Chains A and B, each alone.
Chain A
Amino acid sequence: MATYKEIDNGSWKSFGKTLLSAKGSERQIELLQSCRDGKDAFLQYLNNNLLNEKNVIATGKGIFLDHKFTEAEFRFPPIDTQQIIWDAFQEVPRQNMGSCGFWGSIVIDMIKHDCISPDYLASNVNGVNETGVYMLDNAINSDDSKKIDECVRRILRSMGNPEPRGKRIIFNDFYLGKAYWRWNWSNKMSNEINLSFKEILSTLDDKGYAKFSEKMHTGKSYISQTNTFGGLLLFMNKNPDTLVKSMEKIIDNLTYLSIWKAIEIQSPELTQAEIENLAANLQ
């Protein structure tokens, strides 16, 4: 297996942990200020506090995501940008694609090559006008340690750092990772069930993907079995309104069922029928 360039995951996590050890600390302000001051200052900060340490970068093949993002595009990659992300990482093994250190290295290289500006990392995904610059200024000039800490957490999440939410951040929170994994699941499952890549992508829209990926990376990871996930997708495709109403309960029931029944070996179609029954009983 080829090795790919990535930040040592232990060092990457320690970097986040140190930053989050005290809310509103000088250390946090220093990060925010460097992010606000632009590329050179931010890279200098990373060099001083992370990259200059010995053995922090595991050398290997580098992947360069050669695309100049707008801020909005970085936060919510539209479909054509998702295609660019998917294409760029086609050759990379899934193990690397789930590695926080790999994505951290990708984001730093994107900043180095002006594909994104460091302030994008601070954008607030929940606000329409809350640009990274706005969020950074707001935090830097604030006495509210919670606000400062939240901004630091947002930056770490946008770089794929695991400290704020663990390794699952790559699948759930981190914009580029989410886009990649949604396409990866759609591609994989289109070879397993009778739905096209586009149909699955559409079923796994932002809301659908969020729901499934949340479950897959918690105790309900049972649903990531190919046959089980296939059954869920077939059901969702036929009953798109069910997502909000009862998908969570359906997944809970499936997980419970799996204790005694090996639903992972029954076909997606049989699982779909099983889910239809579960859903009917929930109403």
Chain B
Amino acid sequence: MSNELILSFPVLKQDSGDFLDSISYTAIATQYQNDRKLVITHTLKGESFIVELLKNQKAGFSVTLFYKDNAERQNFICNDWNYDEDTQEIVAEQNIDIDFSYAPEITPCIVVTGDEKIIVNERSGLTDFWKNEEFDIPTFSRIAYHLKLQFTSGDVSSLLNVQCDKEYQDGSIKTKVMETAGEGDQPIKIICAQDVYDELKKQVIDLPYDAQTAMRKAIITQVLCHIYAHMSNLEDKKDIHSGLLKHMKEVFDKTGENWEDESNFNASFAATRITPYAISALNKENR
């Protein structure tokens, strides 16, 4: 969404300055991969004209799902919610079936369903900028946004899928980076021999204290080195898996290695400096 768009009505979003600090709109998404369900929870806090519009069925919660690989977009409206008088919270929950094996990008918002005129009063939830104002909101205007929701944190452990191949010779590891993997998929696949797999299941610590712990750290460093070298050589570093993008930022923040400067990017150095190595969340069915 552009930040430069100037509208004649207030919009509730992060740092917009239109609403009092006590007013907020948030949305969270939970994906249950086993039964291919997505649960979106919208929460609107504080007294505002948006609450009144929702109560009068003149606005609704909306969520758009975008399955990037197929350019498929789906939209779901929710007019069913619960209001808690004590906390002044409206909470709406949407249960949505997922049509693909990868998770979509999720864009939640609140939309007015008809032309509305608002006369600002003390219960409108607006800052002094809007005091005594009147404004019109056209049909289908988005009056509250939450940032696009994505599933991966960018932590390296959330990006890895580790599989054991019992036919691999001891010590063998194969690493593949699928930078254009779908949202919700793990874009880094590690296939390894049984002995390596057994080590990867154990905790890797920052400061090794014996040969075994040093070996575990070395395995991860080797894998990360391969991954970073691959990422560094990508021509297009923008249109890739959002988790990898976040991880690339993390690498830059922690190591100072600049992805934009390919010729000087030191994959080995970055791999030795990035922590933590906790791969405890390996291949969980429910993430």
Contact = CB atoms under 8 A, between A and B. Distances in A.
A259 B7 CA distance: 11
Most B CB contacts (10 A, CB to CB) among A1, A10, A217 go to A10
A262 interface: yes
B140 A162 contact: no
B100 A221 contact: no
Contacts of B142: 260-262
Given A94-B99, A95-B101, A166-B180, A261 B140 contact: yes
Contacts of A14: 176
B178 interface: yes
Contact of A10 (B2, B70, B140, B176): B176
B278 to A, nearest CB: 24
B72 A162 contact: no
Chain A interface size range: 20 to 34
Given A13-B178, A95-B100, A162-B180, A262 B62 contact: yes
Interface string A96-130: 00110000000000000000000000000000000
Given A13-B178, A94-B99, A167-B69, A261 B75 contact: no
Given A94-B99, A166-B180, A260-B5, A266 B140 contact: yes
A259 B102 CA distance: 25
Interface in A211-270: 216-217, 221-222, 224-227, 259-266
Nearest to A266: B140
Interface string B136-179: 00111110000000000000000000000101000000001110
Contacts of A168: 71
Contacts of A94: 70, 72, 99-100
A261 B141 contact: yes
A42 interface: no
Contacts of A221: 66, 68, 71, 73
B191 interface: yes
A217 B100 contact: no
A9 B102 CA distance: 14
Nearest to A162: B180
Contacts of A264: 64, 73, 75
Contacts of A207: none
Contact of B75 (A162, A216, A217, A265): A265
A265 B71 contact: no
Interface in B53-78: 62, 64, 66, 68-75, 77
A104 B196 CA distance: 32
Interface in B82-102: 99-102
A175 interface: no
Contact of B73 (A95, A171, A224): A224
A13 B236 CA distance: 14
B75 A10 contact: no
A141 interface: no
A231 B146 CA distance: 27
B180 to A, nearest CB: 6
A226 B73 CA distance: 8
Given A95-B102, A167-B69, A260-B5, 16 more contacts: A9-B178, A10-B176, A13-B180, A94-B72, A95-B99, A162-B180, A166-B239, A171-B71, A221-B68, A224-B73, A261-B138, A262-B109, A263-B140, A264-B64, A264-B73, A265-B140
Interface of A: 1, 9-11, 13-14, 54-55, 94-95, 98-99, 162, 166-168, 171, 216-217, 221-222, 224-227, 259-266
3 tightest CB-CB pairs across the interface, nearest first? Answer: A10-B176, A216-B71, A98-B70
25 contacts: A1-B101, A10-B177, A11-B176, A94-B70, A94-B100, A95-B69, A95-B102, A98-B69, A166-B180, A166-B239, A168-B71, A221-B68, A222-B73, A225-B73, A226-B73, A260-B142, A261-B138, A261-B142, A262-B62, A262-B111, A262-B141, A263-B140, A264-B73, A265-B77, A266-B140
